[in-house]
Amino acid sequence: MTALAVPLVLLSLLAQTPAPKPVPRELVARAVTAMGGESAVRGIRNYTITFYSVTFGLGQEETPQSPARATVTIGTQTTDFANSRQLAVTEVRNPAGAVNKQRRITAARIGMLETNGAQAPDGPGAVANVERLWRRSLERLLIAALDNPATLRGLPVRSWRGEGVDGVHYVNGLDTLDVYFDRRSGLPVLTEAITDDPILGDRRTVTAFTRWQEADGIVYARQFDIEVNGRLQTNTVLTGLTVNRAVDDSLFVIPDSIKAKAQPSDPTPPPIVVNLVQLAPNVWRAEGGTHHSLIVDQGTRLVVAEAPLSAQRMEALFDTLRSRFPGKPVGLVINTHHHWDHAGGLRTVLAAEVPIVTHARNVSFVRSIGTARKTVRPDALSKSGHPSRSTITTVEDSLVVGSGPTRVVAYRLPSAHAEGLLAIYVPESMILFQSDVVNAAPNPPAAGSAELIKFVKARGIVVERVAGGHGVVLPWADVERAATPPASAP
């Protein structure tokens, strides 16, 4: 072997030796240095951002396979970490074109939300979410990880933008997530968290941080993109950033009238209570919180219209029905439409192997709920090892369920709100149950009311009351008035 060959062999062997795995704390320390240094990052007392944001309404599409519509927000937000308070002033334009001006103050573990001048206490869960976002802001997250290296473990290299990125798994209760770092700059470029979701099963939320720029001695990402299970949910661009400027205390004042009613921050969801309100013989509305279901007693079984929100909500409804109607099974659940807040309880229905009725457009969607991977919070369906045996009956135009005075009819309800939407009619009591076309408030919307009147006329049915999936039960006359705007003065 020549003298030249020996170094070449050594170089070849070295090239085949895998690079040592990075130490998790060193990845975090390098990121803090890249953001301006440990002293500067620890010294962040407050910052103010101006931004615009586009949020896509995942789970509110026209059909389960349609693109989501966007809500556009512009605003300014001041976060004062030193005093645990925040002010956000925004203008929000929703998909229908309505513009809402909002001001949200969070301070001293309570909050206030002002919408178009109307002030109200922020909910304890909403306040807790704001506080959680403070903890999960990159600079605070990295400092917490730096100070608690036992909470970190290394992750396998993952590919992002065609290159490998190194990561750490950070364990801290509700703030547990993965953080990945760019190998060239050291900056944190991705976070990922997996949580439980009633529709998706394992909900994988990935946030990308890009377009890093310096401001007041801190290097900060100017663009955030959030994806949920591979679909873009939010794109946010910072148009301005200042750090550690003077903060006016008057910005964070919550009026005493709001303070007196505000509840302190609490991440624990409130207990789920479902009450049965009888609307007619054999007809009830299961009420509680923001979403409701219709219950019809058909003698040998109960028919339920709507399985909203979550497994916990559906289990509470089942418990309520078992208590009120001992020995009488739920024989059928009718799904009004695919929107996630109105379908979040369907996995519980599938686990109980109760038959389901839905519009033909939504069959694959309903089946996908039952087959979704669920490892964060395994349930009876995922533990069973086999798919649900629930039968799924489809509706194209209409379907009669039962006979005699307790029969119900599921009709396709044409609406701009969603395709494949069903309304449930009880002929004997002349009650119409629908969700979201008329969110039955004291003042129902004109457009939805007009859609409902057109539907009723086309079907040739007589309606006395509208029992919606939201809000109050409305006399039909109120819907008619809402659909006919008052004549303008001469």
Write the pLDDT tens digit of every residue in 243-262: 999 999 999 999 999 999 99
Q: 102 vs 73, 97, 224, 462, 463, CA distance in Å?
A: 10, 16, 22, 41, 38
Pairing type for strands 330-334 and 302-305 reads: parallel
Average pLDDT, integer, range 331-344: 98
Q: Which strands, in side-by-side order, build the sheet including 275-280?
A: 275-280, 283-287, 293-297, 302-305, 330-334, 356-359, 392-395
Write the pLDDT tens digit of every residue in 35-79. Answer: 999 999 999 999 999 999 999 999 999 999 999 999 999 999 999
pLDDT at 486: 63
Count CB neighbours of 97 within 10 A.
6
Dist CA 78 CA 62 (whole Å) = 36
Domain-by-domain residue ranges, the chain?
22-259, 276-483
Dist CA 50 CA 89 (whole Å) = 10
Mean pLDDT in the chain? 94
Residues 6 or more apart in contact with residue 93 via CB below 8 angstroms: 71, 72, 73, 99
- Residues 48, 242 contacting (CB under 8 angstroms): yes
pLDDT at 14: 43
Cα 21 → chain centroid: 36
380 φ, ψ (degrees, to nearest 5): -60, -35
pLDDT at 487: 57
Average pLDDT, integer, range 308-327: 97
CATH of 22-259, one of 2.50.20.10, 2.40.50.140, 1.10.1060.10, 1.20.140.10: 2.50.20.10
Residue type, position 236, single letter: T
- Residues 110, 121 contacting (CB under 8 angstroms): yes
pLDDT at 285: 98
Confidence class for position 385, pLDDT limits 50, 70, 90: confident
Residues 6 or more apart in contact with residue 237 via CB below 8 angstroms: 51, 52, 53, 222, 223
Write the pLDDT tens digit of every residue in 418-438. Answer: 999 999 999 999 999 999 999
Residue type, position 89, single letter: V
Confidence class for position 173, pLDDT limits 50, 70, 90: confident
Q: Computed from CA positions of residues 119, 125, 126, 130, in that sequence, does the dihedral angle turn out positive or negative?
A: positive
pLDDT tops 60 at residue 9: no
Dist CA 485 CA 464 (whole Å) = 21
Dist CA 31 CA 219 (whole Å) = 10
Dist CA 218 CA 242 (whole Å) = 9
Write the pLDDT tens digit of every residue in 12-33. Answer: 544 455 567 889 999 999 999 9
pLDDT at 128: 96
Instruction: Give which of 348, 421, 422, 360 is closest to 392, Cα–Cα.
Output: 360
446-453: Cβ within 8 A, 24+ apart: 446/482, 446/483, 446/485, 447/416, 448/415, 448/417, 449/479, 449/480, 449/482, 449/483, 450/483, 451/413, 451/414, 451/415, 451/416, 452/413, 452/479, 452/483, 453/479, 453/480, 453/483
- Residues 399, 364 contacting (CB under 8 angstroms): no
Domain 22-259 identical in fold to domain 276-483:
no
- Residues 429, 394 contacting (CB under 8 angstroms): no
Q: What percent of the chain has pLDDT over 70?
A: 94
pLDDT tops 60 at residue 490: no
pLDDT at 194: 96
pLDDT tops 80 at residue 159: yes
Token output for 48? 């103010």
Q: When comparing pLDDT for 5 and 157, which is higher?
A: 157
Instruction: Give which of 204, 169, 304, 219 is closest to 40, Cα–Cα.
Output: 219
409 φ, ψ (degrees, to nearest 5): -125, 125
Write the pLDDT tens digit of every residue in 133-154. Answer: 999 999 999 999 999 999 999 9
Average pLDDT, integer, range 79-104: 96
Residue type, position 31, single letter: A
- Residues 322, 316 contacting (CB under 8 angstroms): no
pLDDT tops 90 at residue 289: no
pLDDT at 15: 47
Collapse the DSSP code of 463 into the 3-class scheme (helix H, G, I; strand E, B; otherwise coil) and give the result. coil
280 CB burial (10 A radius; 0-12, 13-18, 19+)? middle
Residues 6 or more apart in contact with residue 136 via CB below 8 angstroms: 175, 177, 191
- Residue 301: which region, alpha, beta or left (left: phi > 0; alpha: psi -120 to 50)? beta
Confidence class for position 172, pLDDT limits 50, 70, 90: confident
Q: Which of 170-174, 200-204, 271-275 has the lowest mean pLDDT?
A: 170-174
Question: What architecture is the 276-483 domain classified under in CATH?
Answer: 4-Layer Sandwich (3.60)
Write the pLDDT tens digit of every residue in 447-479. Answer: 999 999 999 999 999 999 999 999 999 999 999
Residues 6 or more apart in contact with residue 143 via CB below 8 angstroms: 32, 38, 41, 42
